[in-house]
Structure 1
């Protein structure tokens, strides 16, 4: 699960003049990677596969049966259990004499598709993290502006100015919280896709046994 900081703590840090960005995300080699999980840009099929060697460049799109099952089980909105059933139905139809050739191609193709989707999710996460840092900097700026005007100021213009700063700061804090919720959910997507590969590898691997 992603490491997040309670909003109250974030606001305390802001009021004290601390940097929001430094507290909002765990230290990573990539400053735009916001998740607690280690960043793995691309998954390797051999990590999950114990069968015959996977092809380096599987021309799977020209194999109608393989292409159909890959496109059916790879989308991240397909529940893993449903994908397992679809993959099992495909695998059971492949003659045993051909399984050592067909299964590795199918799994390599699934890995390719999962990596493509993970790449999109990772890019989205980095974009959100970059936006989060920008919003955090704006909240810090608004907090400094607010501290420069006493809460009990009597000058009408200053009171109006302070009210506008409070309104802008509140909006920014809500934006920060919204992005934080999105990050918390989205950080789990690459992990879920990775776990799915392990499940799919087992479905095919179990049917390779003599």
Structure 2
């Protein structure tokens, strides 16, 4: 019974950490992160420079496309992306900055939103998987509690051993998903922070 109680407490703690109650106004049951779900980032939230272009084909400008690809992918460390953007921004003639910088930032926002969308979908899939795993653990626990640990019936002993093994496997999977969720929940936040840094790099270099 002590083992059963310990495992139950572990699962309860895991549920509390991986799937906290949603913040006020947020009712999405598939969002397990502490951070509020923001499906789409708005460029204007971060940008303080000239008006951003709408529906611009930034990929048609080779200079813009190159710097977006050198800064937006999350596989690129944020500090390296910042350095690449700084090098690009410093080389742009001051007379072109007010027109070019907004296009660059619009491209970065589009790419980061695309990446965040994929990550958010991944988080929701993991949340579904963890919830299903928790239900299976609960079911296995009920089955285990129905067979006394002190039973002398060989068939019952064998059945109980199989349940213990299955339940242990499920718990390990539950905890693995929890660890993955902890890491993955930080990715959208990191991308948002990167966007704020990039906005500052560009706006700080705009002509007065």
Count of paired positions: 199
SS at match of 1:164: helix
Match for residue 194 of structure 2? Answer: 196
Structure 2: runs of 5+ lacking an equivalent: none
d(CA) in 2 for partners of 1:124, 1:82: 26
Match for residue 111 of structure 2? Answer: 113
| 1:25 matched to 2:19 | yes
Kept in 1: contact 2:47–2:199 (CA 8 A): yes
d(CA) in 1 for partners of 2:193, 2:75: 14
| 1:11 matched to 2:8 | yes
For normalisation by structure 2, the TM-score amounts to 0.91
- Structure 1 residues 177-210: Cα deviation after superposition (integer angstroms, max 9, x where no partner): 1000000011000000000001000100111033
Q: 1:104 aligned to 102, 120, 137, which one?
A: 102
Deviation at 1:46, TM superposition (A): 0.5
Deviation at 1:98, TM superposition (A): 1.1
d(CA) in 1 for partners of 2:31, 2:7: 19
Q: 1:183 aligned to 181, 184, 189, which one?
A: 181
Match for residue 169 of structure 2? Answer: 171
For normalisation by structure 1, the TM-score amounts to 0.90
Match for residue 3 of structure 1? Answer: none
Deviation at 1:27, TM superposition (A): 2.0
Q: 2:157 aligned to 156, 159, 166, which one?
A: 159
RMSD between aligned residues:
1.8
Inter-CA distance 27–163: structure 2 relative to 1 (3 Å threshold): same
4+ long deviations beyond 4 Å: 20-24
Structure 1: runs of 5+ lacking an equivalent: 1-7
Match for residue 4 of structure 1? Answer: none
Kept in 2: contact 1:10–1:23 (CA 8 A): no
Kept in 2: contact 1:55–1:108 (CA 8 A): yes
Match for residue 68 of structure 2? Answer: 70
Kept in 2: contact 1:118–1:193 (CA 8 A): yes
Deviation at 1:80, TM superposition (A): 1.3
d(CA) in 2 for partners of 1:10, 1:44: 43
d(CA) in 1 for partners of 2:82, 2:17: 40
Kept in 2: contact 1:21–1:137 (CA 8 A): no
d(CA) in 2 for partners of 1:106, 1:23: 38
- Structure 1 residues 101-153: Cα deviation after superposition (integer angstroms, max 9, x where no partner): 10000001100000000000000000000000000000000000000000001
